[in-house]
Each structure stands twice: as structure tokens, then as C-alpha cells.
């Protein structure tokens, strides 16, 4: 029998394991149940360790792998490792950083250098036609929804605030208070709306699901992410990329923050009456600002009574 091509994506591999689970004999089903319950740990275990954890023989573990279409357990484990590569990468980076004999100041300098490189990469990744289309989508939308989970939730909230002066309605769909609020808001999405999805490693499955829902509702979609291989890219009408690499942390948000600010700058310039509105805003907030006279400027004489 020809060996089928092992799936590369985590979701498809776990789904495959789940589909086989009900058709397996008892000993192999015990391996599958343990692997599905602890997929991260399974990816790091040797065959004997998995056998002991599942309380079966080594031969049963190997037969479980062949039942999934692999030549043996090593091929299954390698595929599982590849599927979780982006998830395990931050752990390995942190392990390498901890093992180095270096100062905290040096680690901080390296982090700042990573962020500077991410901004430079974000600049290199800008495509003029994608930028123009992104601004057109934002300007033409009835409502703009911004979506992000984890670290990207902060970016999505910041983006909604950045967009607020330039669109009729900017709605942040983030999950600081759980999924119910974001799902409730996205149920109102309709044709003419725009969904802007932000996701960087580690990519959020829920963000991808939200984008898919918005497309099904007839909305346009704009992706802000770090790579053409990001799972949200195939669902987006337009994609803008930002550098997100980091030497210790799982990813950096600096490039994404810079990209959002760049979008704000383009929107501020491209709209109608933006100068008048900016002047009106400056006048309205002036009473709330602490204004310090510049040194060297003469103070006006007091009016004599």
C-alpha cells in the first residue's frame, strides 16, 4: 500500500487522528486517546516513553502510527513535531537564551535590535498596490471590524482607536472578556463591512474562524500578519505584512504597531477635510493639556487696571 502524504497542518493531523480513533483496536485506541489528549507531549516523547504513558506495548505504538498511514512511529512523531513547530519554537528560543551567560542589559539591547529589524522588514514588505487597496477598503466600508486574540488583541484595539476618526464606525472584536462578546458583535457583519484581522505567531485559530465567518456574511477582509504562509492570508482580499521575529519571545508586536501607525498616517492624509478636523480636535482638547511656554519667549505685559 502506498503511504499517503502526511498532513503538514496541526489541525488536519489532529483531525485525522480523531477520525481513525473509533476504528482502532483497543490497544491502539489507548495510544490514540493519549496522543489526542496530550498532542504537545506526544510530539516530544520517544516510542518507549509514549508506550509507558499510554500503558501499552512499544509494538502497539508503532502499529498505531502505521494505522495512520506512516511507515512507523518516527515518521509520525516527526510529522507531529513539524505540525507544532511554530508552537514549540518560542520554548526553544527561551531555552537557548537561558543557557547563555549574558547580562540583562545585553538581552534588552538584543531585543531592541530585533524590534528595529522588524520595523525595517515591515518597510521592505510594503507593496504599493496593496497599500492603496487597503486604504480604499477602509474608506469605502460602512463599518470596520478589527479582530485579534492574545497579543494581537491589544493591536486590534489600538487599530480600532486609530481608525475611529476616519470611518463611520470602528468596532474592536477582541476576547478580553471571553468569546461571547466578539461572536455577538460579528453576528451583525453584513455586505459592505470590512473585517481587519491581525494575527502573528502563534497564530489564532479563532481569528481564522472569525474571518471565514465574515467572508460568508459578504464582508471584505484585510489581513495584517507576518508571513505569506499565515493561515489568514488565503481568506483575505488584501494582505499587509509586518516583521514579527524575536530572539527570545514568541513574536514581536513592534512591526505590527508601526504598520498600524502607518495606516493611520495614510488615512489622515487621504481623507476629505482632514486638516480642518485635526485643527478642530486640537482646539477642543487644548483646555485639557498642560502647555508650557517655550523658553526665551517674552511674557505679555499685564493689563493695567
- Write out pLDDT tens, residues 278-298: 777 778 778 888 877 777 655
Q: How far, in Å, CA of 164 to CA of 166, rounded?
A: 6
Give buried/exposed letters for 70-84 (b at 16+ CB in 10 A, else e).
beebebbbebbebbb
Residue 305: what pLDDT? 47
Of 139, 269, 145, nearest to 196 by C-alpha is 145
pLDDT of residue 300: 54
Name the CATH topology of 114-287: Rossmann fold (3.40.50)
What is the average per-residue pLDDT within 151-164? 93
pLDDT digits (tens, 9 = 90+) for 262-282: 999 999 987 667 777 777 777
Give pLDDT, residue 7: 33
Q: Is the pLDDT of residue 58 over 80?
A: yes
- Report how far residue 168's alpha carbon sits from residue 242's, in angstroms, rounded to the nearest whole number: 26
Kindly indicate the confidence band of residue 56, based on its pLDDT and cuts at 50, 70 and 90: very high
Domain ranges for the chain: 13-93, 114-287
Q: According to CATH, what is the number of the domain 13-93?
A: 1.10.10.10
Q: Among 118, 203, 194, 198, which Cα is nearest to 157's? A: 198
pTM above 0.75? no
Higher-confidence residue of 137 and 38: namely 137
Confidence at residue 87, expressed as pLDDT on a 0 to 100 scale: 62
Amino acid at each position: 500500500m502506498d503511504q499517503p502524504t502526511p498532513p503538514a497542518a496541526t489541525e488536519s493531523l489532529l483531525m485525522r487522528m480523531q477520525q481513525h480513533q473509533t476504528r482502532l483496536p483497543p490497544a491502539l485506541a489507548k495510544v490514540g486517546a493519549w496522543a489526542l489528549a496530550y498532542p504537545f507531549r506526544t510530539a516530544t516523547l520517544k516510542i518507549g516513553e509514549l508506550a509507558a504513558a499510554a500503558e501499552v506495548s512499544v509494538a502497539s505504538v508503532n502499529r498505531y502510527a502505521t494505522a495512520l498511514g506512516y511507515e512507523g512511529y518516527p515518521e509520525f512523531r516527526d510529522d507531529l513535531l513539524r505540525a507544532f513547530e511554530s508552537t514549540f519554537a518560542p520554548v526553544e528560543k527561551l531555552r537557548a537564551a537561558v543557557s547563555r551567560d549574558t547580562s540583562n542589559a545585553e538581552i534588552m539591547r538584543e531585543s531592541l535590535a530585533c524590534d528595529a529589524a522588524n520595523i525595517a522588514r515591515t518597510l521592505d514588505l510594503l507593496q504599493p498596490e496593496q497599500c492603496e487597496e487597503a486604504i480604499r477598503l477602509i474608506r469605502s466600508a460602512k463599518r470596520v471590524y478589527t479582530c485579534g486574540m492574545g497579543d494581537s488583541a491589544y493591536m486590534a484595539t489600538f487599530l480600532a482607536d486609530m481608525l475611529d476618526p476616519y470611518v463611520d464606525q470602528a468596532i474592536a472584536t477582541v476576547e478580553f472578556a471571553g468569546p461571547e462578546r466578539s461572536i455577538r458583535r460579528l453576528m451583525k457583519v453584513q455586505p459592505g463591512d470590512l473585517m481587519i484581522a491581525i494575527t502573528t505567531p502563534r497564530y489564532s485559530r479563532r481569528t481564522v474562524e472569525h474571518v471565514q465567518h465574515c467572508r460568508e456574511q459578504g464582508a471584505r477582509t484585510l489581513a495584517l500578519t507576518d508571513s505569506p504562509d499565515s493561515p489568514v492570508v488565503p481568506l483575505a482580499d488584501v494582505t499587509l505584512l509586518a516583521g514579527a521575529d524575536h530572539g527570545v519571545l514568541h513574536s514581536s508586536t513592534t512591526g505590527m504597531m508601526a504598520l498600524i501607525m502607518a495606516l493611520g498616517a495614510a488615512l489622515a492624509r487621504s481623507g476629505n477635510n482632514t486638516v480642518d478636523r485635526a485643527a478642530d480636535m486640537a482646539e477642543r482638547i487644548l483646555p485639557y493639556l498642560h502647555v508650557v511656554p517655550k523658553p526665551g519667549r517674552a511674557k505679555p505685559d499685564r493689563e493695567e487696571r
